[in-house]
Amino acid sequence: MEVQIISKQNVRPSSPTPPHLRNFKLSLLDQLIPVPYAPILLYYPMNDSSGASNLDVLKRLQVLKKSLSETLTHFYPLAGKIKDDQLSIDCDDEGACYVEAQVNCHLSEFLRQPDLLVAHQFFPCELLPKAVTHVANFQVNVFECGGVAIGICISHLALDGAALSTFLKAWSAIAKGSKEAIIYPEFIPTSLFPANDLWLRDSAVVMFGSLFKKGNGITKRFVFDASAISSLRARAVGVECPTRVEVVSSFLWKCFMAASEEWRGCRRPSILTHLVNLRRKNGTEVGREFHGKFPVIKGDKRNSMAEQTLREIGEFGSRDGVDFLGFSSWCRLGFYDADFGWGKPVWISSLATSGSPTMNLVILADTRCDGVEAFVSLNEKEMAILEGNPELLRFASLNPSPLDIDKSVQCT
């Protein structure tokens, strides 16, 4: 499979950003994620049995670009540049990086045997760059059949998963002309931990550095269908009606600990962390359209609590003989609702990597049929043990075709 870049440009906001919004200050919490991007791919078939004409494809590309420009007016930090100090975004309206590319195969060919090591070509930038310049990067990949894969890399400094969902809903609604359905973002400058708390930022960097191990990592995709999740849920003890995410996370953690024990020859202490959407947990009137962090704990009490927590986690994680597994969930964020006017995506994926410097990380995502996909990054030796675990393979499939997961999908 070959991907040929056809064009590359900056897409600017359709209206200029007001001068008083030029400097967008970042929260400390925006800087804690150990990787600069959470890459996501959305795959759309042509949905036309008569085949794709060049006119149809060109029209879709024009709609995507024009609607992105309008959307950036409301999500103005995405059209800016991250300042050298990593503490703020210069909302200079320079624009988002926008690439159009041609793929020399049909979308169905790729989806029948998805190779996410190859799919890195669908993204517009390096996923582990030395420096992040553009806040937002997009690549629209057109297959021979007229199907499209949209690769998105938006800096974690600007958007988390929930905020990315809000952005995609706004972009797709504008593309369809359904502006009445748009929930516009509210960028609130106050933060739980201001980014100018340098001592706290440094402590957090040390903590995450001790947890996310460095080395030669590899990513594999495991899919749990609804039936498997029901079976795992029935085995749960001590939790009434656990969620899909809780069930899959705990089961994968168990399998991860078993792989570590087999590889190392002994059972080691293990830490599990889960990123949490505080918009649903904070107990205040903060909706899904909120972007930024909010004040919950203030002053010296906030600093002392944060410092103590970071120190304790960092000290424990930095000990020899301690394993760590971090989870981030895209479930229930509504990525499958991103309809630009030609139907919803047939598949949403993250990226599989080989030789990744960051390991011990799991991204969970919905399937179209109430299942959960897990993109698991581990040390190569642990992964070899994990993917051969018969108990894991009893409940999960290793890299199945998205076309087999949902038989209703028609993709040529």
User: How far is the C-alpha of 93 from the C-alpha of 75, rounded, in Å?
Assistant: 11
DSSP letters, 209-222, are: HHHS-EEEEEEEEE
Position with higher pLDDT, 287 vs 54: 54
Model pLDDT, residue 301? 47
pLDDT interval class at 8 (50, 70, 90)? very high
Residue 144: is its pLDDT beyond 80?
yes
Is the pTM of the predicted complex or chain greater than 0.85? yes
Model pLDDT, residue 243? 95
What does residue 245 show for φ and ψ, rounded to 5 degrees?
-65, -40
Model pLDDT, residue 37? 78
Q: What's the mean per-residue pLDDT of the chain?
A: 83
Residue 252: is its pLDDT beyond 60?
yes
Model pLDDT, residue 289? 45
What does residue 324 show for φ and ψ, rounded to 5 degrees?
-140, 140
- The H or E element spanning position 28 is none
Is residue 274 annotated as a catalytic residue, yes or no? no
Model pLDDT, residue 369? 92
- The single residue of 90, 93, 339, 406 carrying the catalytic annotation is 339
Q: Identify whether the C-beta of residue 97 lies closer than 8 Å to the C-beta of residue 70.
A: no
pLDDT tens-digit map of 327-355: 999 999 999 999 999 999 999 998 766 66
Of 377, 359, 328, which is closest to residue 220 (Cα–Cα)? 377
Model pLDDT, residue 285? 38
DSSP 350: -
Is residue 156 annotated as a catalytic residue, yes or no? yes
User: How far is the C-alpha of 379 from the C-alpha of 77, rounded, in Å?
Assistant: 35
pLDDT tens-digit map of 370-405: 999 999 999 889 999 999 999 999 999 999 999 998
Lowest mean pLDDT among 17-31, 195-209, 248-262, 288-302: 288-302
Position with higher pLDDT, 141 vs 38: 141
Mean pLDDT confidence for 288-317? 52
Q: Please name the residue that has the structure tokens 């990593």.
A: 86
Model pLDDT, residue 357? 58
Q: Identify whether the C-beta of residue 333 lies closer than 8 Å to the C-beta of residue 161.
A: yes
- The single residue of 106, 156, 160, 366 carrying the catalytic annotation is 156
Residue 189: is its pLDDT beyond 60?
no
Model pLDDT, residue 16? 96
Q: What Rg, from alpha-carbon coordinates, does the chain have?
A: 21
- Highest mean pLDDT: which of 155-159, 225-229, 292-296? 225-229
Domains of the chain, earliest start first:
3-187 (3.30.559.10), 199-405 (3.30.559.10)
